[in-house]
């Protein structure tokens, strides 16, 4: 019997790419591939790329350049580029890097087995279509191997919002929701494999419409799965946060009190230029309703500073919104151009201005995050333990608020939700002691 072929996947970017990488590995598993942790002994290397961050494409070309020597040593090695950079760059990737054997977009990775046949016969393979066939239906059978206690599950893809700074509508396509019965089946399979917490994924996950009652209806359906202890979802758009979903945060015990709800700016003028279709006041009133339903909810957000045309006052409006909301966690970035987006054609702010604003914003966000962490000391939280720590007898998991928590505990707590009293805080984690 021939030795199995080895597959190395490097994943960039969001949680959805993590999920996609798992499904690509499963698809190629049918062709005899097994995962490997290193590129050096791989028979196929896949870079699953993200186009959101600055100079994303150039970073991919740089990574590919590192494989030239490996390809020379192993002529049978196949190299592929997947994900959003693949969708955006297409044929250009193969032109600039002839060592690339296949390029596949995020909507076509269910076709990888056929593409593998093509490249093994000496051809190049390119598929960046938005195919009519449902990739999830093609890949609906998940691997049966034992899994860790947490998993991602894509329920919605694409975006119809067309924010002026974003390439997602062009790389992921229009908003599409998976049918609720298929999601339920996949969630049940994950739980049968040992998963206790599922995070529902989508570019605009709360725009999900594959259930008659939307995302709230899907959450309540998943709530009925025995053995599933926790449900989360990300990433949300403020305009799709309906009252049923807000209410679910207050009434569904399995829905965790953590919400990532990007606003991007606190300036109405900039929000309009971004094509966000909401105002700062809309967002603040929404936060009030969410906190009324679940007072202890921890809020996370995204911010872009230095968007074209942003004035000092626009930036101060953002700082004030951050003060008004008080985030437990947040992500902030300097604006960077994405070719093909409306904002890319506008005059850009000076780099030093953007740097100074980002430093000020991050200092405020860091202060809020540290205050939130400190407020947890003395409280009891419920921790789902996921792995062993570096120290002997130490276990690490996540609280319901998505804080990393470590505690002295026996190995049998792995995969269990246990009560922990927080005894110490640090910038990126909490230390606790088992209560039971």
Cα(108)–Cα(135) distance, integer angstroms: 7
Q: Is 163 annotated as a binding residue?
A: yes
Residue 43 Cα distances to 264, 282, 321, 391, angstroms: 42, 52, 50, 35
Is 252 marked as binding a ligand? no
**Beta bridge partners of residue 1, listed in sequence order:** none
Structure tokens at 365: 């966000």
Known binding-site residues equal: 14, 50, 84, 159, 163, 166
Known binding-site residues for [4Fe-4S] cluster equal: 14, 50, 84, 159, 163, 166
């Amino acid at each position: 019997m021939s030795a199995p072929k080895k597959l190395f996947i490097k994943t960039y970017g969001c949680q959805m790419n993590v999920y996609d990488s798992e499904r690509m590995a499963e698809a190629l598993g049918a062709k005899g591939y097994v995962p490997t942790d290193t590129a050096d002994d791989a028979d196929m290397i896949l870079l699953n790329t993200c186009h959101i961050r600055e100079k994303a494409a150039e970073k991919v070309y740089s990574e590919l350049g590192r494989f030239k020597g490996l390809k020379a040593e192993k002529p049978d090695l196949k190299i592929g580029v997947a994900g959003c950079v693949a969708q955006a760059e297409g044929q250009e990737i193969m032109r600039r890097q002839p060592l690339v054997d296949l390029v596949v977009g995020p909507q076509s990775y269910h076709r990888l087995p056929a593409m593998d046949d093509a490249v093994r016969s000496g051809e190049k393979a390119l598929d960046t279509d938005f195919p009519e066939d449902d990739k999830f239906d093609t890949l609906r059978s998940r691997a049966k191997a034992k899994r860790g206690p947490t998993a991602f599950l894509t329920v919605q893809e694409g975006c119809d919002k067309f924010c002026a700074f974003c390439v997602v509508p062009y790389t992921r396509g229009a908003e599409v929701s998976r049918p609720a019965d298929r999601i339920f089946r996949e969630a049940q399979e994950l739980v049968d494999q040992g998963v206790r917490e599922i995070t529902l994924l989508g570019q605009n996950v709360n725009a999900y419409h594959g259930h008659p009652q939307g995302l709230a209806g899907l959450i309540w359906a998943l709530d009925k799965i025995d053995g599933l202890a926790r449900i989360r979802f990300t990433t949300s758009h403020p305009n799709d946060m309906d009252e049923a979903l807000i209410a679910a945060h207050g009434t569904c015990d399995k829905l965790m009190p953590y919400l990532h709800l990007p606003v991007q700016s606190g300036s109405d003028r900039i929000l309009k230029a971004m094509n966000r279709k909401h105002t700062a006041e809309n967002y603040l009133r929404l936060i009030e309703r969410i906190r009324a339903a679940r007072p202890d909810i921890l809020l996370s957000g995204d911010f872009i500073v230095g968007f074209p045309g942003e004035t000092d006052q626009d930036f101060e409006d953002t700082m004030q919104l951050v003060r008004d909301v008080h985030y437990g966690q947040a992500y902030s970035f300097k604006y960077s151009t994405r070719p093909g987006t409306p904002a890319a054609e506008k005059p850009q702010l000076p780099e030093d201005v953007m740097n100074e604003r980002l430093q000020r914003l991050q200092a405020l966000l860091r202060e809020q995050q540290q205050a939130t962490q400190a407020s947890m000391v003395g409280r009891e939280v419920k921790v789902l333990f996921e792995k062993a720590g570096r120290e002997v007898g130490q276990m690490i998991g996540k609280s319901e608020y998505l804080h990393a928590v470590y505690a002295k505990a026996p190995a049998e707590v792995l995969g269990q939700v246990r009560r922990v009293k927080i005894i110490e805080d640090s910038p990126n984690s909490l230390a606790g002691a088992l209560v039971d």
